[in-house]
Amino acid sequence: MKKFIIYILLFSIAFFCPVQASKMPKVKPGMLYDMQNRTFDTSNAEQVWNAVVTTLYDSDFLIEDIDKDLGHIRAVKTFKSHYVSKKRIAGWSTVLLAAGAYTAFSYGATAYTMYEPTRRIANEMRDKTILVDINVNISKTKDNKISVKFIPVEKILQNADGFSFNQSAPIRIIRIYKPKIYDEFFNQVEKNINLFI
């Protein structure tokens, strides 16, 4: 009986608790490239760098890494939002059910096994920390203009206790394919380029 309960626990954890990545929607060839890339009619790379950094700061992003040699900027922003994964709740509910059955068969001697899944279910119901991870690549084109590639990714992080979180263990990764977000970013960069003329 003990082995049976252990198998149920392992199956539940393996099946219900993997990292989920959202599926890429069907897009026309080149549409994603067009959304993520914009070429600016200037040869002044420093001007574009300043405009991109200003745009990110104005949007409350924290710049984590700037490498001008590689033409790369990485910025992040975190905030709290309500998110509940039905699969994860179902998985931990199955674990709790198995722990409850194990406790009943052991006449209450293993009641402590119910604590962890109960805590996990409660934690799943709390607001999650959302991390927006931005990667920007800046390069010169053959015709001496400046090209900017903007790639935003949203990660829903696993809360350790409802307050702290682990960036290396997202429970869901959402790739962003909304043209409006890209347009807003590039339009703001263009306005900021004009400020640095």
- Phi, psi angles (nearest 5°) of residue 160: -80, -40
Q: pLDDT for 178-197, tens place per residue?
A: 889 999 999 999 999 888 66
Q: Where are the alpha helices (DSSP H) in the chain?
A: 2-16, 31-36, 45-58, 86-105, 115-125, 179-195
CB 74 within 8 A of CB 135: yes
Q: pLDDT for 24-76, tens place per residue?
A: 556 665 788 889 999 998 889 999 999 999 999 999 999 999 999 899 999 99
CB 158 within 8 A of CB 170: yes
The mean pLDDT of the chain is: 80
Q: pLDDT for 155-178, tens place per residue?
A: 888 765 545 555 557 778 888 888
Taking the CA atoms of 92, 94, 95 and 101 in sequence, report the sign of the dihedral they define.
positive
The domain segmentation of the chain, as residue ranges, is: 2-195
% of the chain with per-residue pLDDT over 70: 79
Residue 166: predicted pLDDT: 57
CB 133 within 8 A of CB 25: no
Token pair 């409850």 in the structure block, residue: 100
